[in-house]
Amino acid sequence: MQSHDVGIKDAVKMYGDFKAVAGITLDIKRGEFFTLLGPSGCGKTTLLRMIAGFNTIDRGTISFGENVINHVPAHKRGIGMVFQNYAIFPHLSVADNVAYGLKARKVPGSETGPRVKNALEMVQIAELAGRMPNELSGGQQQRVALARAFVIEPSVLLMDEPLSNLDAKLRVQMRTTIKKLQRKLGITTIYVTHDQEEALSISDRIAVMKDGLIMQVGEPTQIYKKPENPFVAGFIGVSNFLDCDIAGQDPNNAALTVAGYKIKDVRLSRPFTGKGKIAARPEYLSLDAEGIKGTIELSTFLGDFIEYEIMLESGQAIQLNEYTKDALSVKPDGMEVRVALDASAIIVYGEGGEVLT
Ligand SMILES: Nc1ncnc2c1ncn2[C@@H]1O[C@H](COP(=O)(O)OP(=O)(O)O)[C@@H](O)[C@H]1O
Ligand SMILES: [Mg+2]
């Protein structure tokens, strides 16, 4: 089956008076690996189930290609679905689990065997075809669930936290498997996770959600480097937030004052004078002779980098990372330091969270 683009227009889902999905608009391109990322309870599963046809849609439209599918039943949408808990049938063998969807779609028996074999080979468990689910590890069960979704050649693949039940190492292995398969097959994929590292590593684009709304849509590097609001900056990776005074009558040559320390040559998107906030990633801060005074509370050597927890004079704790290759030694706890901020690597927010850089 040919893969579709997926259009979501002002979609709303109500539970009583509560808007679990509060007006979401997204254009997901054909063949794209698109991720819904956000904290628990923000409406990811609800939206995915609306796309799948397991939830009704209270307002707005969802389309596959040209066709609005609001009222198309789930089994006629041509979707493949993978769940967190695998949801494979315990009384059927691996091969029969994978064949199930083909039988339900009345695919001729002569075609079923080769397609099941092919799907099991794709996820590298061909040798397990005759096993029962209780004879499989968690990772193997998840591969069965993947094969079962791929075998029907869905037009859209939906995955809801498919790796959360696996241990950390297997999770990283499986996400590579999923990404490679998705690339090879070119199936439009909508993936749900609350794990930001997983989202950054696997996606073509990410929509960050909060309270049933989209906070930002973008490629992983955009989301990480240019978070459009403090929520995204705080949710993706680690950000240090510091209060600042902004003197930006001339937006091309603004100055910030952070904890008594002046940062010059800041470019703003518009003139702004007043109070604001900056967000700075730990790897963009450095220890220098000039900068905000603080004391190292805890230094942690992590191999490729050293993580410092620093208490600023203002009483605020921040995190600063130094690459081991750039460091002469690990600085001891209790050492007084100065934290320098690079004007080009910070994001400035005005009051209310408006992004100014
Ligand atoms: N069937 C339901 N009835 C009432 N409230 C629900 C139902 N399903 C989900 N919710 C609520 O909707 C919100 C979003 O849930 P969900 O989509 O499962 O979040 P996520 O998948 O992002 O963790 C939550 O506050 C949840 O409690
Ligand atoms: Mg969920």
User: Closest ligand 1 atom to the C-alpha of 212?
Assistant: 14
Helices marked H in 61-195: 94-104, 109-122, 138-151, 168-185
* Beta strands 213-218 and 261-266, pairing class: unpaired
pLDDT per position as a tens digit, 282-308:
999 999 989 999 999 999 999 999 999
Q: How far apart are CA 332 and CA 314, in angstroms?
A: 21
Q: How far is the CA of 162 from the centre of ligand 2 (A)?
A: 11
- CB of 352 closer than 8 Å to CB of 307: no
Residues lining ligand 1, Cβ inside 6 A: 15, 20, 38, 40-46
Q: Strands (DSSP E) along the chain, which ranges?
A: 6-15, 18-28, 33-37, 59-64, 67-68, 79-82, 156-160, 188-193, 205-210, 213-218, 240-248, 254-258, 261-266, 272-280, 285-301, 305-312, 317-323, 336-341, 346-350
Nearest CA owner, ligand 1 atom 5: 15
Which ligand number lies closest to the CA of residue 20?
Answer: 1
C-alpha closest to that of 339 among 357, 314, 356: 314
Q: What is the pLDDT of residue 1?
A: 59
Q: How many CB atoms lie within 10 A of CB 303?
A: 6
Which positions of the chain have pLDDT values less than 50? none
Q: What is the pLDDT of residue 87?
A: 86
User: Could you say which DSSP state residue 228 is in?
Assistant: S
- CB of 116 closer than 8 Å to CB of 97: no
Domain borders along the chain are 6-233, 238-353
Nearest CA owner, ligand 1 atom 1: 15
Which ligand number lies closest to the CA of residue 159?
Answer: 2
Q: How far is the CA of 353 from the centre of ligand 2 (A)?
A: 27
User: Could you say which DSSP state residue 204 is in?
Assistant: S
- What backbone phi and psi angles, to 5 degrees, belong to 205? -140, 155
Radius of gyration of the chain (CA): 25
Q: How far apart are CA 53 and CA 46, in angstroms?
A: 10
Q: What is the pLDDT of residue 253?
A: 94
**Residue where the block lists tokens 């130094």:** 322
Q: What is the pLDDT of residue 194?
A: 96
167 in helix, strand or coil?
coil
Q: How many CB atoms lie within 10 A of CB 232?
A: 27
Residue 166 structure tokens: 């696996």
Among 46, 84, 213, name the best residue to mutate to test ligand 1's pocket (greatest count of ligand atoms within 8 A of Cβ): 46
User: Closest ligand 1 atom to the C-alpha of 38?
Assistant: 22
Domain 6-233, classified CATH 3.30.300.340, yes or no: no
| One CATH from 1.10.260.40, 2.40.50.140, 3.40.50.300, 3.40.50.2300 for 238-353 | 2.40.50.140
Q: What is the pLDDT of residue 165?
A: 87
**Residue where the block lists tokens 């709303």:** 12
CA angle 270, 271, 275 (to 5 degrees): 110
Tallying the residues shown for the chain, one arrives at 357
Q: How far apart are CA 178 and CA 162, in angstroms?
A: 10
Among 12, 15, 47, name the best residue to mutate to test ligand 1's pocket (greatest count of ligand atoms within 8 A of Cβ): 15
Which amino acid, 261? Y
Residue 314 structure tokens: 């203002």
Residue 156 structure tokens: 């859209």
User: Closest ligand 1 atom to the C-alpha of 13?
Assistant: 12
Contacts of residues 136-140 at CB distance under 8 Å and 24 or more positions apart, as own/partner, are 136/94, 138/165, 138/166, 138/167, 138/170, 139/166, 139/170, 139/173, 139/174
Contacts of residues 171-180 at CB distance under 8 Å and 24 or more positions apart, as own/partner, are 171/198, 173/139, 174/139, 174/142, 174/143, 175/201, 175/202, 177/123, 177/124, 177/143, 177/146, 178/146, 178/202, 179/33
